Amino acid sequence: MIRQAQEAVRRFLPRGGGKGIALLGLVLVAFWAGSGFYRVQPDEQGVVMRFGAFDRTAPPGLNYHIPWPVESVTTPRVTRINRVDIGFVGAQDAPVVTGRVQPARDVLAESLMLTGDENIIDIDVAVFWRIRDAGEFLFNTRNPESTVKSAAESVMREVIGRTPIQPALTEARAQIEQEVRRGAQAIMDQYRAGIEIVQVQLQKVDPPAEVIEAFRDVQRANADRERLRNEAESFRNDIIPRARGEAERLVQEAQGARESQIARARGEAARFISVLTAYQAAPDVTTRRLYLETMEEILRRNPMIIVDDRLQGVVPFLPLGEGAATPRPQGGMPQNRPPPLPAVPQGQGVVQGRSQGAPR
């Protein structure tokens, strides 16, 4: 068989067969060596395997490897964002983007979790990941998608088990997403899976469907409680400063009245002491002075009618009726007007004030 094969080759080769065989061998070797060139696209990463074992990774661009059967190349796409759904099954034709995905069917075995205050909560999660190291991704994990799903679900149950239900439904969603992403990434790094967790999104966080109406009633009651508490706090913040201001005003007025009374009392005491000193120095003069000042004050506040003592037939008249019916000015105290002069006979000399010749 070998001889027949050699004869068949010689028939196709020109004369001088040794040189032809060498030339053909060189062509075949050149073709085989040239098959080692390959191109890695920008969104790919080259993984070079030597005799089936991982050897190295190649960057994007034109690269070279020893041709088959020594080395072979695989170029997985490392920039593609992959999605894993936990707690629901999404639509099959849904695009792989970072937006919210509407669940097609719930998987209660994955979505029902126990919270830190021993309540049950229904959570749907979408985990987005990509290949970070193609060599580790191809050779360290058998089923990368299942690994990502199991790790994310485990971390999610751990985080929810530490979180009460009320924060998990409201303000703690972003914190839960960050903790789950960090925990799942730590597991991927520990496995050396060559996977990067890009984002974790909570698609749905609700109580179980059997008790959701009762839970909403509780939520509405809590909202009413918070509203009433805020109204009470607002009223308190309004009335307390006003009461404190009023109290401060009364204290200031009382202090002002106190200071005024003290000053007036000290002035009266000083005046009395000065009068006492003057009296001790000159009793007669001081007594007469006090008498005159007192009479001057009394006469200045009361009306006077001075009649000459030489007049005869003057009848005293007391205007009791008119004095009792003294008109009051509108909005004020009664006026201190002197009563009208009594009627006297015509021709008699009656003056208001001091008449000529009357004793002083």
pLDDT of residue 350: 40
User: pLDDT band for position 153 (50/70/90)?
Assistant: very high
Q: Is the pLDDT of residue 325 over 50?
A: no
Average pLDDT on 198-203 reads 90
User: pLDDT band for position 223 (50/70/90)?
Assistant: confident
What per-residue string of b and e applies to 34-67 under the rule 16 or more CB within 10 Å gives b? eeeeeebeeebbbbbbeeeebbebbeeeebebee
User: pLDDT band for position 357 (50/70/90)?
Assistant: very low
Q: Residue 201 to residues 101, 179, 181: CA-CA distances in angstroms?
A: 10, 11, 9
Q: Is the pLDDT of residue 155 over 90?
A: yes
Q: Is the pLDDT of residue 245 over 70?
A: yes
Please tell me the pTM assigned to this model.
Answer: 0.50
- What are 28-54's pLDDT values in tens digits? 777 777 666 777 776 667 777 777 777
- φ, ψ for residue 19 (rounded to 5)? -70, -35
Tokens of 252: 């200031």
Residue type, 111: S
pLDDT of residue 20: 63
- List CB contacts of 134: < 8 A, sequence separation 6 or more: 45, 46, 47, 57, 74, 76, 78, 194
pLDDT of residue 258: 92
Q: Distance (Å, rounded) from C-alpha 276 to C-alpha 286?
A: 9
Q: Distance (Å, rounded) from C-alpha 140 to C-alpha 77?
A: 17
Poorest-pLDDT segment among 69-83, 139-153, 259-273: 69-83
Tokens of 190: 């520990």
Q: Distance (Å, rounded) from C-alpha 165 to C-alpha 156?
A: 14
Poorest-pLDDT segment among 61-75, 94-108, 294-308, 324-338: 324-338
Q: At what angle do helices 17-34 and 2-12 cross, to 10 degrees?
A: 90
Average pLDDT, the chain: 77
Burial class (CB in 10 A: 0-12, 13-18, 19+), 154: middle
Helix (H) or strand (E) holding 209: none
User: pLDDT band for position 17 (50/70/90)?
Assistant: low
The CA dihedral of 245, 248, 254, 259, to the nearest 10 degrees, is -130
- What are 75-98's pLDDT values in tens digits? 777 778 889 998 888 654 444 444
Q: Give the domain ranges of the chain.
A: 82-207, 210-302
pLDDT of residue 351: 39
The answer to whether 102 and 91 are in contact (CB under 8 A) is: yes
Which CATH number describes the domain made up of 82-207? 3.30.479.30
**Of the candidates 209, 142, 155, the residue with the CA atom closest to the CA atom of residue 185:** 155
Average pLDDT on 51-69 reads 74
